[in-house]
Structure 1
Amino acid sequence: MKIIMRKKLFLSSAGALLLAIILTTAVAMDAQWLNSLDNLFIQHRIPDISYLTVFAGATATFATIGPMLVIFSVLAIFLLRINYKGLAVWGLGNLFLTSGVGYLLKQLLQRTRPDQVQYIARSSYSFPSGHSLLIMTFICSLFLIYFFRERKLPIFLKLVLILLGITIAGGRLYLGVHYFSDILTGLFLGAGLTFGTAGLFYPYLQQSSPRLARTRKSAFSTWQKVLLSAIAVLVVLVSGASVFALKFYHSSQKMADSMYSPIERTGKLKSPEATEPMSILILGIANDAKRKTDFRANTIMVATLNNQTKETTLVSIPRDSFVEIVGADYQDKINHAHSIGGSEMIMNTVEKFLDIPIHHYVSVNMDGLQTLVDAVGGVTVDNDFAFSAEGIDYPKGKQHLNGWEALQYSRMRYEDPTGDYGRQGRQREVMELLINKILSTKSIFSYQKILDGIGENGKTDLTFDQMQKILTGYHSCLTKIDSQQVQGEGFTGDGVTGEEGISYQKIPQEEVDRVKELLHKQLDIEDK
């Protein structure tokens, strides 16, 4: 009878966990059938009823880690007093395991909340529903505690538990803070882990009974328990890593697809192999949510990645540089090339100006910079002098900035004694800090925000496969960055050389030659 019951626990656990894995995989792959199911429940939501919203929100607080920890602790004390030590330890341990697995999945998948209006606003990740996970863990644990104590669960208590589960799980759906699949996965995961741990430690829990403890020896030796526990932990870790890899791959591909904006260039260069140097034109476009039609490239940087020197060179070009605009047959500010002819024209213009090949481009608008800085938790800059911008005071020295503060820090130029060159220096500083943070292990738990920030606000001619190649083949180059500045001399247009009354930057030939030599060396170009 006992063997049969243990098998039932394992079968129940396997079935519930299998369903949870199927749903998790479907969420990671953004499966159409699951989206249709989730949308079905979203479209048929009950309209907001004030008293029902208050009730659903208040009831949900029962199934949070704080109250659950108190409830399981009280249960553990009660079980210890009546000599059920095994059940007491298992109950608390299983609570920590299920909540830990649920938290890990939230961070790995980073699924955002449903887009529709939430009756009670929530901003954390959506999958799986922690409330559903905890309430199912509580219900199953209580059933099992009664079973191992060889007591029948009172019918009244059964009804209360079932009603509580329906109320909390249904309340999450009504409030619009979770998808149906979030809730279902939480329920399956809670049941699967609880039944699974009970089956794994079945002999130990059986012997929690004072009567059985006196008549039977342990079915598992200490080393067997350690081995089984290690295997269980390993399975959880491997499964979590697999789900993360699957989700990251899918999210990256989705980001790449949304950014992909190929250009038609005459004599377009072939993307280099990982063993060959590569150049990428990085553009910061002036437009944002407020200035939607301003397509000037206010930030222009050429990045060269060289696997032989294990170095990345980042060269800032003044946006007011007076150069030949390739394809327009006249000279103007270099940043106007993007306004006139987009990425193609500014790539051709930079190629002609510096006499180097530009293999690819990446452009990000101002909203993208702000979002990226927030996604990595802010950046710590070292400010050279005190100034104010957009009502924000920036004292001299090191300070931590959020997205909005970093954006204004990198845009200010009127209070800078070196004008636009000072601004370019701060832009390179923020760019380097961003690259370092994105490449750090800490960013792994913010990858979804990072990918969303780039995908919604950026454009590139790099395909998903080419992005993968850069991250894997050129990763070592990104750890060492050499920042350079193209230095010019200011002049005012007279109607013959430049538009009358407009400020420009003339780049002396010797400065152009200096930068050319530097970039030619990084790109392994032989000077003629």
Structure 2
Amino acid sequence: MRKKLFIKSIGALLAVLLFTTAITANAQWLHHLDHLFIQYRLPNIYYATLFVGAIAKLATIAPMLAIFITLAVLLLRRNDKGLAFWALGNLVFASAAGYLLKQLLQRSRPDQIQYISRTSYSFPSGHSLLIATFICSVLLLYFFSEKKPPLLLKLVLLFLLIAVAGGRIYLGVHYFSDVITGLLLGAGLTFGTAALFYPYLLPAQTKDKRIRKSRVLSWQKGILGVLAALVVLVSGLSVFAVKFYHSSQKIADSMYSPVERTGKRKTPNASEPMSILILGIANDAKRKTDFRANTIMVATLNNQTKETTLVSIPRDSFVEIVGADYEDKINHAHSIGGPEMIMKTVEQFLDIPIHHYVSVNMDGLQTLVDAVGGVTVNNDFAFSAEGIDYPKGKQHLNGWEALQYSRMRYEDPKGDYGRQGRQREVMELLIKKMLSTKSLFSYQKILDGIGENGRTDLTFEQMQKIMTGYHSCLTKIDSQQVQGEGFTGDGFTGEEGISYQRIPQEEVDRVKELLHKQLNIEEKE
């Protein structure tokens, strides 16, 4: 019987791998199969919808935990410790496996109208996984107790299977493949753990005899169990890697916006420093603008010092706009000539090469912060913005709150410099969160947020190169601020009545020296 359990487990898990691979590869046969069940599902019947929706609540983690805890208590009273711990432990294990797979693949739910609205991800169906785990566990409990399940119980279990699994398809909250994979995963893991702990789940009178008999082959069975676990783990990681690669490539392609530059700069090797111009474009949904760059930062990545330097340039800096033949606010360069003109302008202003640019509009900042679960800032003083109160000290902010936190300047005694400091703070926190292992579970949201709101001249291959070759630099960030002196234009130096920031030459020289050192420019001269 143990051999049969192993065979059933491996067969079910291989089928799970097949469906998972097909979903990752967007296989046409699975697409047709899923939409066949969607096309011919029953129309919405009010009482049927209420009924299957109510039944489905049984196949959720809280009721299942309550049922399995009750079963465990009853088994412990009968002195069946092995069965008690196996039943409860297997439920937790199967639930965790299903949740992990759901987060790794992040498959969207069917896009047709759902009879009961649902959020979160679709694959695999958690309800189907739990009901399969429950049914298989009950049948195995009877088997190990050397009893036959009553016919009435079999009919009840069959009814639950049809009502829960079939109900998910009827309600339109899952694809057919989601439901089948959930059933197979629940059954496969339940049979597998039962086979793995088989000698310890037998009745007391036969347990000692079976354990002694199986000791000779226990090492073989142990190796088989370890190999099966490794196959599932490696397969899952491989599927995740493939999906992550394809999703990243798709997003990178949608972001790619090259610039025409004379003397095009070659992307440095990982052993060489690199500079990237980071632009925050104020064209968010609420405040439409002429696409001026309200946030301008130069990031230098140096693999030798293992450090990233993040330099903020005041948006009102009065500099020569390269290609326009006059002086103006530096952020006007983007609205006049796009990324190409502002890259050339920053290059001349700081006497450094700018290898690439990345621009993100303000909607993107909000989306990215929400995707990583928010950021915890340390506010220097209490203020209010857009109806939100920001007390002094540490506080956790969601996307909208972080956006308003980083853009406020009128209540800041430092004015735009205070705002730039908060922007760097949010940017640093965002980078650290995006590089953390926790972000793997939200990678699709992060990629979607970047793709919808970002533009860059980096190709997908160049992005890969930065993430692999310069990853160590991104863990240590040194923030710097270009300091200027405010003045009002008189019609000759700047437009009359307009506020500007004049950057003293000594400040320009200080920042140049810092960036030249980071980019190893002095060593080449």
Matches within 5 A, 1:14-413: 14-42=10-38, 46-80=42-76, 84-205=80-201, 207-208=202-203, 210=205, 212-213=206-207, 217-221=211-215, 224=219, 233-291=229-287, 294-413=290-409
Q: Distance in 2 between matches of 1:160 and 1:174?
A: 20
Counterpart of 1:208, as a letter, is P
Q: Is the 8 A contact 2:200 2:207 kept in 1?
A: no
CA deviation string 1:189-223 (max 9, x = no partner)? 11111222233334444x3274x348655433497
Q: Distance in 1 between matches of 2:82 and 2:356?
A: 62
Structure 1 residue 369: Cα displacement: 0.8
Matches within 5 A, 1:435-474: 435-474=431-470
Structure 1 residue 132: Cα displacement: 0.5
Q: Distance in 1 between matches of 2:46 and 2:243?
A: 37
**SS of alignment partner, residue 220 of structure 1:** helix
Alignment CA distance shift 1:30-1:347 (3 Å): farther
Alignment CA distance shift 1:496-1:111 (3 Å): same
Alignment CA distance shift 1:395-1:92 (3 Å): closer
Structure 1 residue 182: Cα displacement: 1.9
Identify which of 470, 475, 479 aligns with 2:475: 479
Q: Is the 8 A contact 2:383 2:391 kept in 1?
A: yes
Task: Return 265-274 or 134-143, whichever deviates more.
Answer: 134-143
Structure 1 residue 120: Cα displacement: 3.3
Alignment CA distance shift 1:21-1:326 (3 Å): same
Matches within 5 A, 1:416-431: 416-431=412-427
CA deviation string 1:6-27 (max 9, x = no partner)? 4433332222111101122233
Counterpart of 2:6, as a letter, is F
Task: Return 515-524 or 296-305, whichever deviates more.
Answer: 515-524
Q: Distance in 2 between matches of 1:218 and 1:57?
A: 49
Structure 1 residue 141: Cα displacement: 2.2
**SS of alignment partner, residue 286 of structure 2:** coil
**SS of alignment partner, residue 219 of structure 1:** helix
Counterpart of 2:314, as a letter, is P
Q: Distance in 2 between matches of 1:180 and 1:28?
A: 15
Q: Is the 8 A contact 1:279 1:303 kept in 2?
A: yes
Q: Distance in 2 between matches of 1:328 and 1:15?
A: 69
Alignment CA distance shift 1:397-1:196 (3 Å): closer
Structure 1 residue 292: Cα displacement: 5.3
Alignment CA distance shift 1:320-1:50 (3 Å): farther
CA deviation string 1:143-180 (max 9, x = no partner)? 33333444444444333322211211122223333333
Q: Is the 8 A contact 1:83 1:208 kept in 2?
A: no
Q: Distance in 2 between matches of 1:305 and 1:458?
A: 20
Alignment CA distance shift 1:31-1:290 (3 Å): farther
Q: Distance in 2 between matches of 1:348 and 1:40?
A: 55
Structure 1 residue 401: Cα displacement: 1.6
Alignment CA distance shift 1:520-1:214 (3 Å): closer
Q: Distance in 2 between matches of 1:55 and 1:331?
A: 71
What are the ranges of 5 or more consecutive residues in structure 2 without an aligned counterpart?
none
Cα RMSD for the two superposed structures: 2.7
Counterpart of 2:342, as a letter, is I
CA deviation string 1:464-501 (max 9, x = no partner)? 22111111111121122121112222222333333332
TM-score, structure 1 as length reference: 0.90
Counterpart of 1:254, as a letter, is K
Q: Distance in 2 between matches of 1:434 and 1:112?
A: 25
Structure 1 residue 383: Cα displacement: 1.7
Structure 1 residue 63: Cα displacement: 0.7
Counterpart of 1:219, as a letter, is K
Q: Distance in 1 between matches of 2:503 and 2:149?
A: 85
**SS of alignment partner, residue 177 of structure 1:** coil
Q: Is the 8 A contact 1:203 1:219 kept in 2?
A: no
TM-score, structure 2 as length reference: 0.91
Matches within 5 A, 1:490-505: 490-505=486-501
CA deviation string 1:387-428 (max 9, x = no partner)? 111011112222222211111011001111221111111111
Task: Return 159-168 or 412-421, whichever deviates more.
Answer: 159-168
What is the percent sequence identity of the aligned residues? Answer: 79
Task: Return 503-512 or 125-134, whichever deviates more.
Answer: 503-512
Task: Return 420-429 or 316-325, whichever deviates more.
Answer: 316-325
Counterpart of 2:281, as a letter, is I
Counterpart of 2:488, as a letter, is T
